[in-house]
Structure 1
């Protein structure tokens, strides 16, 4: 999947793009849900992981099992006032299908996470009262025949870490190794993956170019996906490339063209905590719609150089400091959110949006986008944004600067 553009027009701040060869979408259809089965405990013996998750958390500290530990600060924008639709809210996990751990930090291991994710269902953690970091020894992969609903809920105390060495979570309905469950893998309503109340830290997909690469913490193709009350820090993917991206999350296609919801979540959050990738220091997609609600995206960077296609003598990339999107008909809505202090070496220090057939639209509501330098190009009148679509972005009750 690759867009073709004219680099001379990029330099002038105007991007001409041909149609993207991507996954088609059909009219919306209600996605099926799944009822949880009997609760199952998954644990394995291992050396206990560090008890304090990475990222800014001055109140988190190690503790014995008898010492209460305050919850981590809630991710997302506490001042955000965007309405959250029912389908975008956290899933009720009161009756989990399986539980990772038996109440101690040492029982919450990478192997236990990998096994639970492969089996699917509603998954929670029992790792003791203190915050715990689980350093993944392998990427947890969704099996397409499980679910159809898969929920991973850390209860606000669990960090999944890639250890700077690997991607943390992977779902791909078109990956034969994970099982083909329909004849139309590019557009099926399952699995439906939700990650909530979790921190994803130090994921790294560098060198993994399957499906074009990207997705340092999470890679998704197909089905449905949403993120609620979660934090992403210090994730990264390949530093060069004209179209790969998503230091935190990369998404390719969603069922029926329905959006990815990102709700009450933080990407970066402080200096040194942001993600870095060739494009999309936080989020990246092709042909996918996004609804970002009451969230914070700060200190992320698009570090490639040469844009798309790569200018002569460069490896390409460098667009979408926080968010990189392209494709044909898709939408981006940002509401109740803060996007600050991100940077792009090329276009769109905050957001890069290119709808190749000029049908895509973007809305910014009740949000703040400021101090997002675009070192190469951006759309006049929309600081930090490079936009090509059906019409200029609709901006209401927001601050751009």
Structure 2
């Protein structure tokens, strides 16, 4: 089944495109699928582009792979600021000895730039990166922790691999990144083989789990890949790649493939089941939120319950979806597709599709 529709524009006045391309340093086929949709040509707003790292605050390494240890990465991220790597000219995987945690009072801006060579790994046993403005252990800085403008976290030109948050019991989901409060932006990144807990309703985000962004601003995901080929996919109970509650997303020129929602029973969980299994690539739940898929591909993802590609539920029916210059195809499993195949949503959800293909 092929579905198409038309809208005038996918950008609001505040999203006026100011640059159209981002260089892709992650294109070595021996190092996994490259970052982003290779055919994505959607204009990128200035605020969604790469952060300036001309004058970094911290440089990890002295030019050799041996000088770039996981402990140095953990310590640098705790201090915040603009962080770059000097680990040699070849790709390098750094396994973290513990989850790298951002402290809310260390630096208002945190940029982690891997220069197209660095992979941060959880070693298959731990989450990689954690930010939570409402976690007292990370130091509260305001009386409204759920709506503050910092830390502003950008991850760019870097790969996150083999993160695992399955053992987390309080801040669940987000095998690679868990973020609440402040602002999160993802540019030129890859996410390979990250996992979170495999069952449970409203739990997920094999790669990324997000709550409460400042002033309900969107999480930008630009020129990034989640999975990208067989053997590289991310998985979790819901939202094989990304999952959120009450958060808007703007996803530009990105690729989601071979991710899986492996839970069973949906949300709320059916009797006799543990729950989960919705949103092969994306699980978006909440109220006033917008999901924008622009210049992107979502394909070959899989679910056990609902939304082979996208699960989008606005509890008070105020949320909306915008899909432009994108392809959604060949996703597997699921049901409850009232309007478009592979997208589970309320029948009255406001959805606009232009210059796109949605193929069952």
Same fold? TM cut 0.5: yes
1:351-394 Cα distance to aligned partner (Å, 9 max, x none): 0000000000001000000011233x232331110012753421
More strand by percentage:
2
Structure-2 residue corresponding to 1:321: 280
How many Å separate the matches in 1 of 2:198 and 2:28?
Answer: 28
Q: Does 1:218 align with 2:177?
A: yes
Over 6 Å off, 4+ runs:
none
How many Å separate the matches in 1 of 2:34 and 2:358?
Answer: 25
Which of the residues 296, 302, 313 maps onto 1:343?
302
Q: Kindly state the Cα deviation for residue 58 of structure 1 after the two structures are TM-superposed.
A: 3.3
1:275-307 Cα distance to aligned partner (Å, 9 max, x none): 110000000000000000000000000000000
Structure-2 residue corresponding to 1:370: 329
How many Å separate the matches in 2 of 1:138 and 1:186?
Answer: 25
Q: Across the two proteins, how many residue pairs are aligned to each other?
A: 335
Which of the residues 58, 63, 70 maps onto 1:103?
63
Which of the residues 349, 352, 361 maps onto 2:320?
361
Structure-1 residue corresponding to 2:210: 251
1:8-34 Cα distance to aligned partner (Å, 9 max, x none): xxxxxxxxxxxxxxxxxxxxxxxxxxx
Structure-1 residue corresponding to 2:228: 269
Which of the residues 140, 144, 163 maps onto 1:203?
163
Does structure 2 retain, via aligned residues, the 8 Å contact 1:372–1:383?
no
Does structure 2 retain, via aligned residues, the 8 Å contact 1:359–1:389?
no
How many Å separate the matches in 2 of 1:206 and 1:193?
Answer: 23
How many Å separate the matches in 2 of 1:95 and 1:269?
Answer: 32
Structure-1 residue corresponding to 2:265: 306
Which of the residues 337, 341, 348 maps onto 1:383?
341
How many Å separate the matches in 2 of 1:82 and 1:118?
Answer: 34
Structure-2 residue corresponding to 1:58: 29
1:214-251 Cα distance to aligned partner (Å, 9 max, x none): 00000000000000000000000000001101000000
How many Å separate the matches in 1 of 2:243 and 2:186?
Answer: 14
Moved more, 201-210 or 383-392: 383-392
1:2-401 to 2 correspondences below 5 Å:
57-60=28-31, 74-211=34-171, 213-375=172-334, 377-388=335-346, 391-401=349-359
The gaps in structure 2 that reach 5 residues or longer are: 1-25
**Alignment TM-score, normalising by the size of structure 2:** 0.91
How many Å separate the matches in 1 of 2:153 and 2:352?
Answer: 30
Q: Kindly state the Cα deviation for residue 57 of structure 1 after the two structures are TM-superposed.
A: 4.5
Cα separation, partners in 2 of 1:56 and 1:279, compared to 1, 3 Å: farther
Larger radius of gyration: 1
